[in-house]
Amino acid sequence: MTGSEVAPAATAPGLVADPAAVEAARERQSHVRHELRAPFAVIYPLLSMLLDGSAGELTPQQREYLVILERNIERLEALVSGAADSGWTECSAAPVAPGEIDLADLAESVVVAGRSLGQTGPPVAVERGRAPVRAWGDRDDARQIVTGLLRNAVMYAPDAGTVTICVREGDADGTVAVEVRDTGPGMTPEELARAFDFGFRGELASRLKAPGLGIGLWVCRRLAERNSGRVDLADRPGGGLCATLTLPAWPTVAAGEAGRG
């Protein structure tokens, strides 16, 4: 192997394949997510019955209180869902299961999943070249990162705007990248400097009362780093934001040599 070739990422720091541990962690996360969300399935029908008068006529003051209660329950559900979906659970510390990832296929599957869940907002396009762009890392981690970056882009880009996911070779040798570009308002230099801080929410997020805990980007960066990668944000010329996930490239040359050995 020459100095320019990339060793299989199983030797990279933090990449330890333990399928049993990973599966156990996934099951714990699924259980935690279910338990956190289950009470809302009971609360909403009962609240709806109260508001529509099924349990008796309401006074104006009682209705006002119930509307306030409903609004705060919706806020609580958004916070709980944000915590569950962001990976801020025991699973976020689970061992990774590294492998080959076709980034274009991954990006397209994330877009399809968003549509199937009724995701609204601007159209999302995936740009892919003729040659596959393959990364080495934990597929679930990569999927979670791209999902988080796409969710942010769709949330802040106007409906008449666009969101584009571009899969390409990385800027550094031996890396590949996924860019999520939007035509939204972008971020100020001060916000870009703090975007990955735990709990940070920008001015627009606060003004729009956007759902979330301000930990999504923090989790994305944490997941990328444990896969020997990184996440970066930059304003786009002409407006909008570009979020870039960079991961180690799938070592085709090294893998081929190992196979011949």
pLDDT digits (tens, 9 = 90+) for 49-94: 999 999 899 999 999 889 888 887 886 776 676 666 555 554 455 6
Domain boundary among 27, 57, 90: 90
CB 15 within 8 A of CB 96: yes
CATH of the domain at 173: 3.30.565.10
pLDDT category at 125 given cuts 50, 70, 90 is very high
CB 49 within 8 A of CB 111: no
Question: What is the residue range of 201's domain?
Answer: 97-255
pLDDT at position 12, please? Answer: 42
Per-residue pLDDT, averaged over 221-244, amounts to 93
pLDDT at position 124, please? Answer: 94
Domain boundary among 90, 109, 138: 90
pLDDT at position 157, please? Answer: 85
Average pLDDT of every residue of the chain: 80
pLDDT at position 211, please? Answer: 65
- Say if residue 142 is in the same domain as residue 250: yes
Q: What total number of domains does the chain contain?
A: 2
- Say if residue 42 is in the same domain as residue 144: no
Per-residue pLDDT, averaged over 177-200, amounts to 91
State what percent of residues in the chain have pLDDT above 70: 73
Classified as helix, coil or strand, 181 is strand
pLDDT at position 166, please? Answer: 97
pLDDT digits (tens, 9 = 90+) for 247-261: 999 985 345 445 555
Classified as helix, coil or strand, 173 is coil
CB 9 within 8 A of CB 136: yes
- Amino acid of residue 154: V
Q: How far, in Å, CA of 226 to CA of 97, rounded?
A: 11
In-domain check, residue 214: yes
Q: How far, in Å, CA of 28 to CA of 92, rounded?
A: 11
- Say if residue 85 is in the same domain as residue 142: no
pLDDT at position 88, please? Answer: 52
pLDDT digits (tens, 9 = 90+) for 14-60: 444 456 665 666 676 676 677 777 888 888 899 999 999 998 999 99
**Residues 6+ positions from 69 with CB-CB distance below 8 Å:** 47
In-domain check, residue 261: no
- Say if residue 67 is in the same domain as residue 182: no
